[in-house]
Amino acid sequence: MQLQSIIHYVHNEQLTTEYPKAKVAIIGTGSHKPIIDALTRLYVHQHNTPIVYTECTENILPELVHRCLQKKITVIIVGNGCFTIEKQPFSAAVVAPSANIKTQEPYRAILDNPQLELFSAIGFQTYHTTAEDVEWLHNHYYETLRLGTFRECNALAEPLLRESNHIFFDLNALRASDAPETKQPSPNGLYAEELCQLAAYAGRTPKLQTFRLFGYTPVLTPKTLTAQTAAQVLWHLLEGIAVCHQLPIPEDSTAHIKKIIVDMGDNGQALEFLNDTITGYWWLQIPLTNGATRSIACLQEDYQCACRREIPVRWVHYFQKFNNPLFGVK
């Protein structure tokens, strides 16, 4: 079964009413059509849930996104256009070729938002990035994962994306041989398979509210390599969302969550981990100065690190962040 059989086009005024059981809304802006055409020709495997698709101009995009989020519909934005992040605490992640993002749209609106709690820059290339911008991100307790480190261990990106409500994929992060029709083609960058893996991670996070794919040029045609690459990225995202929605939910919503306490020795404090026996996901429990705790996504390797009586770097990072009066939990 091809995706065209479950992707239903509606006018944007009917976006949240035409298919009330739809879990995903794809909103196209600008020159997005070649990507959607390539996407509909791909075959679906994990689900048959209706997906609503509409087109809009940039000026009404914020309203459409807001309406979908009110209905708890995950929004995928393909093309140009900015939207307003909800006025409540949120987390975001960016996959981009550079970490020089403080003055660039759409990142500037995110980084300037006082409700931003967690932020990650993934897949950036050091030679496209100033040391000052990396230092700025670190000083604000935002996470960075450069291309070389990601390539050594792709799984390092998973907890960063799992914590994110809003995720942005810039196709310029791909090397030019996998996406030649981009605004800033480069001989180096992510492989298409790596961006697809990141999209699968993004789709499987239950926190995901919006996903934006952008960075291609308006000269695309349905048969261009970039359109096909972008379509396959969206395919992996949709498959990930389907897997996330199909996970069994026990009657006791916490029955599948195990708390594991690791004794760090006579001179160290015990570290607490949470493990979901259904998904296999892990979280660190970060103690706060007010006596409460805050969960943060991590990998099983962080637990194994604690078992060796080594404090995970991720624990240290978030203990310092959450207990800093300037950058702590809002």
Transcribe 221-261 into DSSP letters.
-TTSHHHHHHHHHHHHHHHHHHHHHHS---SSTTTTEEEEE
Query: Does pLDDT of 329 surpass 70?
Result: no
- Asked whether residue 220 carries a pLDDT value surpassing 60, the answer given is no
Residue 182 has a pLDDT of: 87
pTM confidence score: 0.95
Q: Say if CB 243 and CB 203 are below 8 A apart.
A: yes
Across the chain, mean pLDDT equals 90
Long-range contacts from 269-273, C-beta under 8 angstroms, 24+ separation: 271/306, 271/311, 271/312, 271/315, 273/298, 273/302, 273/303, 273/306
Residue 8 pLDDT exceeds 70: yes
SS3 138: helix
Indicate whether 26 pLDDT > 90: yes
Mean pLDDT of 241-270: 80
**DSSP 8-state assignment for residue 137:** H
The pLDDT of residue 270: 92
Looking at the predicted structure, is the pLDDT value of residue 244 above 90? no
Letter for the amino acid at 182?
A: T
The answer on pLDDT for 21 being more than 90 is no
pLDDT tens digits, 80-139: 777 777 778 999 999 999 999 887 877 888 888 889 999 999 999 999 999 999 999 999
Mean pLDDT of 48-73: 91
Q: What is the mean pLDDT of residues 56-68?
A: 91
d(CA 271, CA 312): 10
Query: Which residue segments constitute the domains of the chain, with CATH numbers given?
Result: 3-246 (3.40.800.10), 257-322 (no CATH)
Angle at 276 between CA 275 and CA 281, to 5 degrees: 80
pLDDT attached to residue 46: 72
Q: Is the peptide bond before 106 cis (omega within 30 degrees of 0)?
A: yes
Strand boundaries in the chain, DSSP class E: 7-9, 24-28, 51-55, 74-78, 90-95, 116-124, 143-146, 166-170, 210-214, 257-262, 271-276, 282-287, 293-298
Angle, in degrees to the nearest 10, between helices 33-40 and 225-246: 60
